Copies of this chain bind each other. A is one copy, B any other.
Amino acid sequence: MASGPEQSRGRATIVDVATAAGVSRQTVSNALNYPQRVAPATLVRVHREIERLGFTPNAAAQQLRRRKASAYGFEVNPSGAGKMGHILDGFLVELTVAAPDHSCHLVTFAPDLTSLLAGYDQILSTGLVDGFVLGDTRHDDPRPAWLLQNDVPFVTFGRIWDEPHMGRWVDVDGRAGMELAVEHLLGQGYASVAYLGWPDGSPVGDDRRRGWLAGLADAGLADDPIAEEAVQDLAAATAAADRLLARLGPDSAILCASDLLALGALRAVRNRGLEPGRDIGVVGFDDSDVAEALQLSSLRQPLQQAAAEAWRIVHAKGTDLSLTALLAPTLTVRESTSRAGDTPARPPTPVPRPTP
């Protein structure tokens, strides 16, 4: 697989190939970077030697001469790794998979404790990366402005809500996703669709709530929208969902801003002796592992598309500020929204509680 060069003093270099093919090193370089400049006969001869010697251009030498690393930094946050709804892990994977299509790669780095920008400045100043993919956008985020000011290529996953005119982002259209979910739920025969969301103030949450309302309006059901709020916590979600159920009639559905909230809804439903899907429809957001395990219908973010768009945007030349991509999520339908769902979780014979 990796056969050594003439002299076994390491890997084959471009001059090894050149001498073997009887040409100059520049011709070998041209054969790889500008094939149209090289005579066809020479081209095949060079490529044969490249193949034979197992030559691969040295990345460090290319980076040095080209003044370009063809690498991008991705900040990973220790606090939220593996957390539910943290689709960043999946996004990173899809970015990595798509990276070769753009002949570049990804370098991970951890945030600097002193400053939000320090970590970025440091890895950038070594020339290790050309730019960044920001996996999240925070409120009052100083990073986009700083990067723009320093002419550093970047793209964020998540809209830059504070500055709507600022481009260079890719995001998932939570609003459209919610409309889709409402349509699905009504199509399944649920009479009404209530909403379990986060408290006002988070841009993402507000956007999703608007999607729910829009979905109701589309169906002409917007006259009396029923909603409850809960923070991202199971106990709070369960309690809020229970309040919701108290206000709802039969054959209702609950649309949730996250899988965790939906998990609370599932518990509240079961606590009332009801069966999710058959009695009450429940839809979550992010299609996390939990959703899959609990047979919870959920909106899935198109991470593969998002990664592709991210690479496109980060590589786009010029200062075009309107480089954006808004992608529609898809709905993964499971038992929690199917009326005729068999309920395998229920055991054949209920057993009374054993008394000590």
Residues of A bordering B, CB below 8 Å: 1-2, 10-11, 54, 56-61, 63-64, 67, 69, 71, 76-78, 81-84, 86-87, 89-90, 92-94, 96-97, 99-100, 105-110, 117, 121-128, 150, 234-235, 238-239, 242, 245-246, 249-251, 260, 263, 267-268, 270-274, 279, 288-290, 293-295, 344-347, 350-356
A243's closest neighbor in chain B, by CB?
B347
Q: Is the CB of A77 within 8 A of B93?
A: yes
What is the distance, in angstroms, from A77's C-beta to the closest C-beta of chain B?
Answer: 7
Sampled A-B contacts (12; CB under 8 Å): A2-B125, A58-B126, A59-B128, A64-B64, A81-B92, A92-B108, A96-B109, A99-B109, A235-B345, A239-B344, A249-B354, A270-B270
Q: Is the CB of B271 within 8 A of A345?
A: yes
Q: Is the CB of B64 within 8 A of A60?
A: yes
A272's closest neighbor in chain B, by CB?
B351
Residues of B near A89 (CB, < 8 A) are 81-82, 89
CA distance A1 to B118 in the complex (A): 9
Q: Is the CB of B279 within 8 A of A235?
A: no
CA distance A273 to B61 in the complex (A): 67
What is the distance, in angstroms, from A333's C-beta to the closest C-beta of chain B?
Answer: 17
Residues of B near A54 (CB, < 8 A) are 125
Instruction: List 16 extra interface pairs beyond A59-B126, A81-B89, A82-B288, CB under 8 A.
Output: A54-B125, A58-B64, A60-B64, A76-B96, A78-B93, A82-B87, A84-B293, A96-B109, A100-B110, A105-B107, A105-B109, A106-B107, A234-B293, A234-B294, A238-B344, A290-B290
CA distance A11 to B152 in the complex (A): 14
Q: Is the CB of A127 within 8 A of B273?
A: no
Q: Is the CB of A84 within 8 A of B2?
A: no
Q: Is the CB of B289 within 8 A of A56?
A: no
Q: Is the CB of B92 within 8 A of A76?
A: yes
Indicate whether A354 sits within 8 Å of B250 (C-beta atoms), given known contacts A110-B97, A290-B290.
yes
CA distance A270 to B71 in the complex (A): 51
What is the distance, in angstroms, from A40's C-beta to the closest C-beta of chain B?
Answer: 27
CA distance A343 to B294 in the complex (A): 21
A128's closest neighbor in chain B, by CB?
B59
Indicate whether A82 sits within 8 Å of B78 (C-beta atoms), given known contacts A60-B69, A271-B346.
no
A64's closest neighbor in chain B, by CB?
B60
What is the distance, in angstroms, from A355's C-beta to the closest C-beta of chain B?
Answer: 8
Residues of B near A106 (CB, < 8 A) are 107-108
Residues of B near A64 (CB, < 8 A) are 58, 60-61, 64
Residues of B near A107 (CB, < 8 A) are 71, 105-107
What is the distance, in angstroms, from A324's C-beta to the closest C-beta of chain B?
Answer: 25
- CB-contact partner of A81 in B58, B93, B108, B293, under 8 A: B93
CA distance A82 to B287 in the complex (A): 10
- CB-contact partner of A97 in B78, B117, B125, B238, under 8 A: B78
What is the distance, in angstroms, from A231's C-beta to the closest C-beta of chain B?
Answer: 13
CA distance A249 to B354 in the complex (A): 8
Q: Is the CB of B350 within 8 A of A273?
A: yes
Q: Is the CB of B96 within 8 A of A1?
A: no
